[in-house]
Chains A and B, each alone.
Chain A
Amino acid sequence: MNSNNSIKSGAVETALGQLEGWLATMHGTGGYYGPVVGLRGVSMAWCGAGHDWRWEGLLDGWIILHRRTGDPAYLERMDAALQALKQAQLANGAFCNSYFENNPFEGGMPYEPAVMAAVLRTLLYMKETAHPWPVGTEEMIERFVEQRLIKELWNKVLRTFNNWMQSDFERYSPPAVAAIVETLCGYATLTGSTARLAPYIEGAANSLLTSQLWAGSLSGALPLSNYEGSSASPCLAARGLPALALLHRYTGEARFAAAGDALADFVNRCLLPDGGITCMIFANRPARIAPRFVGATADTLRSLERAGRQDATVTRTQLTWLLDRQTASGAFDTAVGFGAGTGRNTHPDWRDVIPVCGWADKIYALLAGQAENPAPASNSESVCRNVRVRGEEAAFMEDADSMILRSKKTEWFVWRKRTVCPSACRL
């Protein structure tokens, strides 16, 4: 725990309680509901229980909070999460509705392995606390690792993991491979099958190093794809840090430490001094700062923390910026600066203010790590804000039961919380 000098005493704890209250309004049968505004697009027409990476931060947060408070409610939530994931698994080991901005599709990358890595951390924690695992959890992970990762996605030629089964099998995504490395390392630890999994871990680890960029503004970055060496998302690249740290810990090889150092340098360069993280960095053109994703910033800080590279001063500045993005409902804005430069910036873009569970969980985990005495969940309050939708002024209203985006002329988005489809969606 660092000393949050510039943050009001108890502010983190209050924010965590309010966020927990908001998350409760999004929780329904089978998981956490809600629309998605992501790095690569939006999914507004389908708002059902997603099994993308929204479970990752929640599971990590509950582990931290249970460790700190011993409250059995957190263990119950972990049990329920594992059951929900088990129910959502398909025969090939993938999970339905796991593609975040492409929901409701399955096979989301890096979302699925990110969640599985969190599930494995949860199981290891349960083992540590002698809490029994929910029935079928081991089979779920085994199916994901054996059927989905090894049988379907392992590329025996490249000796790494593809994102999906398709013709373009020479492409892989280093951030997804990093999440897979974490999953495989966790699975090997849990099952003791290190020798069998070693070739896969080694292959994936090598492909991570091969794809790392070493020149110009992208020096140290992990690109989005091994074929695209000209751009990188700092947030997704940062997700390689824990994997590289794990590899260094397991193998003791200096090359992983060097790669981790270079990546950490890149990520720190991308954190903005007044808060937030650069959206995209390019090799041959200026970086795209906006939109600054709030949850991505929290996720990056978490990645730095998990890799043991947390800088207290940076975290303090960023945490202040993050807390300023929380609204009365307890939710956090998704981003700052969508549609930036369009001229009429009197109000934020609608995509900035739509709260998303798959980002809120990252903030939840970060705040859980920072809160000394977690406050109980508080009730989510109603909010009403002026926004822009396609250049038109509109109002975004949210309460415990609904999210509505409406202008004088058009009902853009009307969603009753915990239902699968919005009753109106023109976005």
Chain B
Amino acid sequence: MTTPGTSRPDAMAGAAFMALLERRRSTRMFKEKPVPNELVSELVRAATLLPTSCNRQLWHFVAVTEPDLKVKVSRCSDAQQSYLYDAPVLIAVFYDTSLETRNPCHTAEVTAGMTLSALLLAAEAHGLGAIYLGGIRHPAGIGKALGVPSYYRSFGLVCVGWKDDDPPAPNRRPVEDVLDFNTFELPHERYHADIRPHLWTLEQIADFRDKLLWYKGVHVDGKTLHVDADVRFSPLFQFMSGRLGLMLEHHTAPRVLDVLSFNGDVVLQLINAYSGRMAELYAYDLTPGIARYMTERFQRIAPPGTFASLINADADRIKIPLPDGHIHVMSCYERLEHFEDPRPLLREMRRVLAPDGRLLLLVSNRLYPHLYRYKRMRQKNYSLGRNWNRGPERKYEPAHLERLLNETGFRITATFGLQPIHLKIVALGVSLCRRIGWHHGADRLSDWAAQRFVTEGIFRYFSSTLVYELE
């Protein structure tokens, strides 16, 4: 960076700029305080200082402050984000793409991207908070709602307002990972380092989970942010409830542990369905942040004195802070996926499980054709998957997993498959029937599939989720 009128780099200004970049976060909570129009103009002025191809400057910005118009924008674009309403100002970014068609460098998109980043940085520089809404389902709807001509392409919305939260710093890949001089060195792995579980240390997994939990808006330290869709209302969780209930019936006063509870879906389900039947209920996870959340959420609703939140007892290795053989019933729902080598976790689970104890283990199956997996990472068996918020996902093949289970001292008593592969074909059939207007056929096929969500036959090995009951 240079100071105006000189060519000498200004170290102070450079440091300030870097500090600004480092300080910027995506703000999701805003104070109920208006942002003056002059300030909004200043942000847009910053955006217009950015370079544009042939200096065309074909951008256009619409600041939305009227609540009714926000509703219209949100409905037309199907944004479904609550902070769209909480932010006093939405800045919609448009670019006239009619002159940029077939441009191999996609200059319209690049220019719009730069203006968006300028808006975010300028907001930070003026003490405001901002977030770019990337999850809009129909961005073209923004233009429709605002009466913008169709040749102006919508590049999304920036919510701007006065900050009411202080998000933690996200992980960033080191520069040496992403920068080469005078050459391009193909990385050993094609995908982002963050999604390769074998590169993750326990500390990284803990850090990721802690921050994601905070970001996903679960209640921690008196703050609730963005609340995401509840995944528990599914046949999978209903099936899990039933099997856990049968396991509890084998013990008079069972002590129950949910392994790597994270957002507490399984814990809530256990309290909901079997409150009063469990002598002790433990939620175990890796970080104090998750433990605080668990305590705050569940201590009030579980019967007094029955619930406790546990944190990993060792920074460098998996260590459940419970004595040997303490637990009668244990659940672990799609958590082995975080580990390239799950044996340390399995050994710990075996250690704390009583000799007559039982474990319900649900694992993503590698043999199931998860389409998103192929889309995102081709032949790899791990990814951030659909549920990227959980952390890395490693899929397991049944034979490999069963070998690991035997190796760590578990005995398989029952195996099930949830959502077997043939339901995928049926789903395609349903969609085809709907498309050709044969709704009766579609209804029949849906009904057929709904009754076959759980399988015990050979198709269990080709199901989306493998379920093992172990002792």
> Which residues of A does B touch, CB under 8 Å?
41, 43-46, 48, 90-91, 96-97, 99, 102-106, 156-158, 164-170, 282, 285-286, 288, 338-339, 341-342, 390, 420-423, 425-427
> Which residues of B does A touch, CB under 8 Å?
67, 70-71, 74-75, 80-82, 85, 226-230, 232-233, 235, 237-239, 241-243, 245-246, 249, 268-269, 271-275, 277, 300-301, 437, 439-440, 443-444, 447, 450-452, 454, 456
Asked if B239 and A167 sit within 8 Å, CB to CB, the answer is no
The chain A residue with its CB closest to the CB of B249 is A421
Q: Which residues of B contact A390 (CB under 8 A)?
A: 451-452
Assuming the A-B contacts A157-B71, A169-B82, are A46 and B242 also in contact, with contact meaning beta carbons closer than 8 angstroms in the complex?
yes
Assuming the A-B contacts A45-B238, A104-B241, A164-B230, are A342 and B444 also in contact, with contact meaning beta carbons closer than 8 angstroms in the complex?
yes
| Contact of A45 (CB < 8 Å), options: B241, B271, B274 | B241
Q: Which residues of B contact A45 (CB under 8 A)?
A: 238-239, 241-243, 245
Asked if A99 and B233 sit within 8 Å, CB to CB, the answer is yes
The chain A residue with its CB closest to the CB of B447 is A339
A279: shortest Cβ distance to chain B, in Å? 10
Assuming the A-B contacts A45-B241, A99-B233, are A167 and B85 also in contact, with contact meaning beta carbons closer than 8 angstroms in the complex?
no
- Complex Cα–Cα for A167 and B235 (A): 21
Majority secondary structure, B binding face? helix
Asked if B275 and A96 sit within 8 Å, CB to CB, the answer is yes
A18: shortest Cβ distance to chain B, in Å? 30
Assuming the A-B contacts A41-B450, A167-B81, A339-B447, are A286 and B439 also in contact, with contact meaning beta carbons closer than 8 angstroms in the complex?
yes
Q: Which residues of A contact B237 (CB under 8 A)?
A: 105
- Complex Cα–Cα for A43 and B238 (A): 7
Asked if B80 and A167 sit within 8 Å, CB to CB, the answer is yes
Q: Which residues of B contact A285 (CB under 8 A)?
A: 437, 439
Asked if B80 and A421 sit within 8 Å, CB to CB, the answer is no
B131: shortest Cβ distance to chain A, in Å? 14
Given A342-B444, A420-B273, 6 new contacts (CB under 8 A): A41-B235, A44-B242, A104-B273, A106-B268, A168-B80, A421-B249
A317: shortest Cβ distance to chain B, in Å? 27
A334: shortest Cβ distance to chain B, in Å? 15
Assuming the A-B contacts A91-B301, A104-B241, are A420 and B444 also in contact, with contact meaning beta carbons closer than 8 angstroms in the complex?
no
| Contact of A420 (CB < 8 Å), options: B235, B274, B454 | B274
Assuming the A-B contacts A45-B243, A157-B71, are A167 and B271 also in contact, with contact meaning beta carbons closer than 8 angstroms in the complex?
no
- Complex Cα–Cα for A41 and B456 (A): 21
The chain A residue with its CB closest to the CB of B135 is A167
Q: Which residues of A contact B454 (CB under 8 A)?
A: 426
B227: shortest Cβ distance to chain A, in Å? 5
Asked if B439 and A167 sit within 8 Å, CB to CB, the answer is no
The chain B residue with its CB closest to the CB of A290 is B443
Assuming the A-B contacts A339-B447, A427-B451, are A166 and B229 also in contact, with contact meaning beta carbons closer than 8 angstroms in the complex?
yes
| Contact of A426 (CB < 8 Å), options: B226, B444, B447, B456 | B456
| Contact of A421 (CB < 8 Å), options: B67, B246, B269, B451 | B246
Top 5 closest A-B pairs, CB basis?
A45-B242, A421-B245, A104-B273, A91-B300, A96-B272
B145: shortest Cβ distance to chain A, in Å? 13
The chain B residue with its CB closest to the CB of A107 is B230
Q: Which residues of B contact A43 (CB under 8 A)?
A: 238
Q: Which residues of B contact A105 (CB under 8 A)?
A: 232-233, 237, 269, 272
B292: shortest Cβ distance to chain A, in Å? 16
Q: Which residues of A contact B233 (CB under 8 A)?
A: 99, 102, 105
Interface centre among A91, A105, A169, A422 (most CB of B within 10 A): A105
- Complex Cα–Cα for A338 and B229 (A): 30
- Complex Cα–Cα for A206 and B101 (A): 46
A343: shortest Cβ distance to chain B, in Å? 10
Interface centre among B245, B272, B456 (most CB of A within 10 A): B272
Q: Which residues of B contact A282 (CB under 8 A)?
A: 439
B281: shortest Cβ distance to chain A, in Å? 14
Q: Which residues of B contact A41 (CB under 8 A)?
A: 235, 450
The chain A residue with its CB closest to the CB of B86 is A157
A288: shortest Cβ distance to chain B, in Å? 6
Q: Which residues of A contact B246 (CB under 8 A)?
A: 421, 423
A268: shortest Cβ distance to chain B, in Å? 24
Assuming the A-B contacts A45-B239, A99-B233, are A166 and B227 also in contact, with contact meaning beta carbons closer than 8 angstroms in the complex?
yes
